[in-house]
Chain A
Amino acid sequence: MKDLSCWSILSVLLFLGTSSLMAQKNLNLGLGYFGETATHPGLVAHLELEKSQSKKVSTLFRADLGAYVHARNHTGVFIDVHGGLRRYRNSGFFTEQYIGLGTLLSFYNGDGVFQRDENGNIRRASAFANLDIMPSVTLGIGYNLSKDATSANLLYFRPKVFWQLPFNNLALPHLALQVGFIHRIK
C-alpha cells in the first residue's frame, strides 16, 4: 500500500513534469555535494526543466538522483522530483524554493546486521533497510556566473529538509545541505 501510494504520487508529478516539458524552454544539468546533516557526505545529480515565466522568474521541474553515507547509521540512495520557482536578480544572484517527493532506499551502515533465526541462532542479516517515501522542502540561493537569465551557469547553496516515512510509526526528518553547479545545456 505504501509503495503503491508512493508510485501514484510520483506518476502524477512525472506527468506534470512531462507537461512542463512540452512548454519548457531550457534543459539544465547539475552536480553537487549532498551532505545529510551537512557533513555526512554524498553526491547529487540534477536534471532540470526550466520554463521562463518572465525575464526574472522561471518555474522548474527537477529530478534528483543522489546518495550519501551517514556512518554508523545508514547509507541512503534516493531519487526525487521537485516543482518550484527560481527568481533571478540583476546582481546575478538568484533564489529558489521547491517541494518534492521521491523514494529513499536505505541500508544500515555499521559493522554488521544480525538477527535471530527460527532456530534461535544469531545470524548475519542483510543490510538492506527499507524503500521509503521521501517528501521534501528545499530552499536555495545561488549565483549565475553568466549574469544573464538567457544562459545559465549557476552555483547554488541549497538547504533541504526531507522526511523518511514510515519510520517507527512516524516520519524521520533529515536535514541536508547541497552545494553544486548547474549548467544549461539546451
Chain B
Amino acid sequence: MKKLFLSALLAISLFACEKSEFLSEGNYYFIRHKGATMPVWVKGNLESGVFLITVHGGPGSSGHEFAVTKSFTELEKDYAIVYWDQRFSGLSQGDPKKSTLSIDQFVEDVDVVVDFVRQQFNQPKLFMLGHSWGGGLSAAWVGRNNNQQKIQGWIDVDGSVYDSLEVQAVKHWTLERVPAKIAEGKDLKFWQYVIDWYQANPAPVYSTKEPYIFAAALDTSYNAAALADSNQLDYAKLLLRSPYSLAYFTNKVDARFADGLDFRPELRRINIPALVLWGKDDPTLPIELASFTYNTLGTAPDRKKKVEFEKCGHSPHYEQPTRFVAVMREFVEKWR
C-alpha cells in the first residue's frame, strides 16, 4: 500500500511539473463584460504587428478549438492569433444573465475584445476571421458603426449570415441525397423519417437541431483518419495540463436568440478587403451560400475573393490545413 501510495504521488507530481505549451505559450487574459468573464489567448508572432482575431462558431463552440489545429499553429509563425471564447461558450466563466443572450450583446462583446487587443498591443494591424456562427457575428460587427475602420480585412469561413435562406439550403442539400440513401437499402426507416419530418416542418429555424443531425448523417468528404494525421492532439495534456475544464462540455448556449438572424444589411455595408472560404461539401451551410455571401458583400470585386475547398466539409481550417494556410497568408500579406 505504501508503495502504491508513493507511486501515485510521484506520478502525479511528475505530470504536474511537466511543461505544457497550453500553460506557457503566449498571453492569457480574461475580459469581464456584462456578467461574463471570457478568456482571450493571444499567441504566435506578436512582433509581426499583425493580429488575427478569431470568432468561433456554434453559438457555443470555443476559440480554443482553433488553437489546437495545425493550420492556426502554422499561422502563428507569421502572425499573432487571438483566440477568444464567447459568453456561455467554451471556457468562459461567470454567471451572466440569460437576457444577455442576444445578437446585439455578442456584437458588443466583439467590440470589447477588439478594443482590448488594440489597447494592449499598441494598435496593431488587425484582421478578423469568423467561422460558421462566428462568420455572421464577425460580419455583424464589421458592418456596424464604423468598426471596419479598425481592421485591415475580414475572413469568412463557412459563415452563417441569413437564417431563412440557410435552413432551406440545408433542406435541399439533404433531400437531394436521401433518395440515393434509400436506394442503398440501409436505414430505410431513418431516411423516410427525414422526408416525413421535412414535410411536417417545411420552414425550420436556426436553432432547430434536426436539419443538422440529418445532414451530418449523410456522407461527406470528412475523413476522420486523415484529420487525425493533420491535427494530432495530446489529449492527456489537454485534459490535465491546460486551461481546459469541464466547462468546455457543460457550457451551453440556447441558440433560439439567433433565430431569424439576417446580417445582409451589415454585409452590404462592408467595403474592406474580404476573403470568403468555403468547403464544397459543407452539409451545415451548403456551398451555394458562399456565392450568396460573396455577392452580397459591399466590398469591390478587386478587393474580395472567394475560395472553395474541394473534398471539404464545414471546417476548411481543420480539414485542409495546408491550403487554408496558403490562402490565408496570401490574403493577409496582400492587405496588411
Residues of A within 8 A of B (CB): 33, 35, 37-41, 70-74, 92-93, 108, 110-116, 120-122, 125, 129-130, 143, 155, 157, 166-175, 177, 179
In the complex, what residue of chain B is closest to A108 when comparing beta carbons?
A: B30
Contact assessment for B116 and A168 in the assembled complex, using a CB-CB cutoff below 8 Å? no
Contact assessment for A168 and B92 in the assembled complex, using a CB-CB cutoff below 8 Å? yes
Contact assessment for A166 and B12 in the assembled complex, using a CB-CB cutoff below 8 Å? no
Contact assessment for B93 and A74 in the assembled complex, using a CB-CB cutoff below 8 Å? yes
Residues of B within 8 A of A (CB): 1-2, 5, 8-9, 12, 15-16, 22-23, 27-33, 37, 39, 41, 88, 91-96, 98, 112, 115-116, 119-120, 239-247, 250-252
In the complex, what residue of chain A is closest to B116 when comparing beta carbons?
A: A122
Contact assessment for B39 and A172 in the assembled complex, using a CB-CB cutoff below 8 Å? no
Residues of A within 8 A of B242 (CB): 72
Contact assessment for B239 and A37 in the assembled complex, using a CB-CB cutoff below 8 Å? yes
CA distance A122 to B115 in the complex (A): 7
Residues of B within 8 A of A92 (CB): 1
CA distance A114 to B120 in the complex (A): 10
Contact assessment for B37 and A73 in the assembled complex, using a CB-CB cutoff below 8 Å? no
Q: A114-B29, A122-B119, A167-B247 in contact; A177/B23 too (CB < 8 A)? A: no
CA distance A70 to B245 in the complex (A): 9
Residues of B within 8 A of A157 (CB): 5, 8
In the A-B complex, the 10 residue pairs with the smallest Cβ-Cβ separation, listed nearest first, are: A72-B243, A143-B1, A110-B28, A115-B32, A39-B240, A39-B16, A72-B28, A113-B30, A111-B27, A108-B30
20 A–B contacts, CB within 8 A, in A order: A39-B15, A40-B16, A41-B16, A73-B244, A73-B245, A93-B1, A110-B29, A110-B39, A112-B30, A113-B31, A114-B29, A115-B32, A122-B112, A157-B8, A168-B88, A168-B93, A168-B250, A170-B251, A171-B250, A172-B245
Contact assessment for B247 and A168 in the assembled complex, using a CB-CB cutoff below 8 Å? yes
CA distance A171 to B95 in the complex (A): 10
Further contacts, 8 of them, CB under 8 A, given A39-B12, A116-B33: A33-B12, A37-B245, A38-B15, A113-B29, A114-B29, A122-B116, A155-B5, A169-B98
Q: A72-B23, A115-B32 in contact; A174/B246 too (CB < 8 A)? A: yes
Residues of B within 8 A of A179 (CB): 5, 8-9, 12
CA distance A33 to B115 in the complex (A): 41
CA distance A37 to B8 in the complex (A): 14
Residues of B within 8 A of A129 (CB): 37, 93-94
Contact assessment for B22 and A166 in the assembled complex, using a CB-CB cutoff below 8 Å? no
Residues of B within 8 A of A35 (CB): 12, 16
CA distance A125 to B37 in the complex (A): 11
CA distance A155 to B9 in the complex (A): 12
CA distance A157 to B6 in the complex (A): 11
Contact assessment for A111 and B9 in the assembled complex, using a CB-CB cutoff below 8 Å? no
Contact assessment for A167 and B31 in the assembled complex, using a CB-CB cutoff below 8 Å? no
